[in-house]
């Protein structure tokens, strides 16, 4: 693979200005420039948020997201295009966002912000607010996101239970369950937190049975991908009181449609797929690209290679 021209696809603008990454990578031994769909065709490699068919003309695509469920793996393989992703950089950002959700629910901050918007001085009921130490978070997925969440909420005194394919222990988690025992794992949790990638296996993994098994005072959090959860079952569970509330960064359809009942629910926090946002995002992505350019020069295997 001869790397002369690296395109920064304009779609990275969803997360940071393309020019920031362009200048961060200006020391690379290749031309780096911001490109649109057409411009991408002339590149050896492209760094991108979105997927475009034009990228099949490149040799290497780097996704600035960890999730790569939008990429057509079969087409990439057929055209001999390498795909790498940005797994490994979102531990602290997403961990802090999830800790923020938990603190909002326990300290009622979302309710106060809502009341302030209405100009209302409204104290919570005596038994609404609580503290986190001793509470249990069941975290589905023990990779970068899962470990980052366990680290940050663990430091707030929350007991962390991880769910992964095998029940082997993972550093940073107090207890581990295998995915086969998912219902057992969520049954006693105060918070159930999805940090999984979207795959054939995880599609709709969280269904009505999971919500029925959860405690009625438990909160559900999804920072993985929307389709891992049966959103209708989630809405039913929230409406019927089968669970207390939810914090959601990802949805079956994004942007979340205007008519979704989730917008209006008091105990639901909606964030627009930005749990991993940070002003340093372009640097974290740039370091991954640089690492792989170095590996290419040394004829080593790609880091974070998916296809
Ligand atoms: P990662 O590869 O570090 O971790 C994923 C973990 O999930 C791995 O440990 C893997 O073994 C596990 N896993 C996969 N299938 C499983 C299954 N069926 N049962 C149990 N465990 C399973 O990836 P990551 O960086 O932690 O990201 C995970 C996902 O989170 C991404 O694919 C992406 O969809 C999502 N994500 C969302 C945001 C956001 O802004 N909300 C940011 C980053 C990542």
Residues with Cβ within 8 Å of 244's Cβ and at least 6 positions away in sequence, in order, are: 105, 216, 217, 218, 219, 267
Q: Is the pTM of this model over 0.95?
A: yes
Give the pLDDT confidence score for residue 220 in this predicted structure: 99
CA distance 66 to 273: 13
* pLDDT classification of 107: cutoffs 50, 70, 90: very high
Q: What is the pLDDT of residues 247-279, one digit of tens each?
A: 999 999 999 999 999 999 999 999 999 999 999
Q: Ligand 1: residues whose CB is within 6 Å?
A: 66-67, 87, 90, 94, 141-145, 164-165, 179, 195-199, 201-202, 223-225, 249-250, 273, 275-276
What is the rounded CA–CA span in Å between residue 7 and residue 21?
10
Which are the contacts of 4, defined by CB distance < 8 A and separation ≥ 6?
30, 31, 44
Ligand 1: nearest atom to the Cα of 205: 18
State how far the Cα of 37 lies from the Cα of 35, in Å rounded to an integer.
7
Q: Which residues neighbour 123 within 8 Å (Cβ) at sequence distance 6 or greater?
A: none
Counting residues of the chain whose pLDDT is more than 70, the rounded percentage is 100
Which candidate, 283, 287, 281, 290, places its Cα nearest to that of 15? 281
What pLDDT digit, counting tens, does each position of 157-207 carry? 999 999 999 999 999 999 999 999 999 999 999 999 999 999 999 999 999
Residue 189's alpha-carbon distances to 147, 231, 281, in angstroms, are 17, 20, 32
pLDDT in tens, 113-132: 999 999 999 999 999 999 99
Q: For the chain, first and last CA: distance in Å? A: 15
Residue 259 appears among annotated catalytic residues: no
> What percent of the chain is predicted at pLDDT more than 90?
99
- The closest residue, in CA terms, to atom 30 on ligand 1 is 224
- Euclidean distance between CA atoms 168 and 175, whole angstroms: 9
Helix (H), strand (E) counts: the chain: 10, 12
Ligand 1 center from residue 39 Cα (angstroms): 31
Question: What's the confidence (pLDDT) of residue 2?
Answer: 86
Task: Find the catalytic residue in 253, 254, 297, 300.
Answer: 254
Active site residue 305: no
Nearest atom in ligand 1 to the alpha carbon of residue 147 is: 26
Closest ligand 1 atom to residue 197 Cα is 32
| Residue 273 known to be catalytic | yes
Q: Which pLDDT value is given to residue 1? A: 78
Centroid of ligand 1 to alpha carbon of 162 (angstroms): 13
The 3-class SS string of 77-113 reads HHCCCEEECCCCCCHHHHHHHHHHHHHHHHHCHHHHH
Pairing relationship of beta strands 45-48 and 219-222 according to DSSP bridges: unpaired
- Are the C-beta atoms of residues 194 and 231 closer than 8 Å to each other? no
């Amino acid at each position: 693979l001869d790397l002369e021209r690296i395109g920064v696809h304009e779609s990275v603008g969803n997360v940071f200005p393309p020019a920031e990454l362009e200048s961060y990578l200006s020391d690379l031994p290749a031309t780096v420039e911001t490109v649109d769909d057409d411009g991408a065709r002339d590149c050896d490699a492209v760094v991108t948020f979105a997927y475009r068919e034009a990228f099949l003309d490149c040799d290497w695509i780097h996704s600035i997201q960890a999730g790569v469920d939008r990429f057509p793996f079969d087409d990439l393989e057929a055209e001999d295009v390498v795909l790498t992703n940005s797994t490994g950089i979102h531990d602290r950002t997403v961990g802090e966002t999830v800790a923020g959700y938990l603190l909002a629910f326990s300290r009622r901050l979302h309710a106060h912000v809502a009341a302030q918007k209405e100009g209302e001085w409204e104290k919570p009921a005596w038994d609404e607010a609580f503290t986190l130490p001793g509470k249990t978070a069941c975290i589905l997925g023990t990779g970068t996101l899962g470990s980052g969440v366990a680290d940050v909420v663990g430091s707030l005194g929350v007991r962390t239970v991880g769910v992964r394919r095998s029940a082997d222990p993972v550093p940073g988690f107090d207890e581990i369950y295998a995915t086969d025992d998912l219902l057992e794992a969520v049954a006693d949790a105060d918070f159930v937190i999805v940090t999984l990638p979207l795959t054939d296996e995880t599609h709709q993994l969280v269904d009505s049975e999971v919500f029925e098994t959860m405690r009625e005072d438990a909160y559900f959090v999804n920072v993985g991908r929307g389709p891992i959860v049966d959103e209708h079952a989630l809405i039913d569970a929230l409406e019927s009181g089968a669970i207390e509330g939810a914090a959601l960064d990802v949805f079956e359809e994004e942007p979340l449609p205007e008519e979704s009942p989730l917008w209006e629910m008091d105990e639901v926090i909606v964030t627009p797929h930005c749990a991993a946002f940070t002003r340093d995002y372009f640097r974290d992505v740039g370091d991954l690209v640089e690492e792989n350019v170095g590996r290419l020069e040394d004829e080593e295997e790609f880091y974070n290679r998916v296809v």
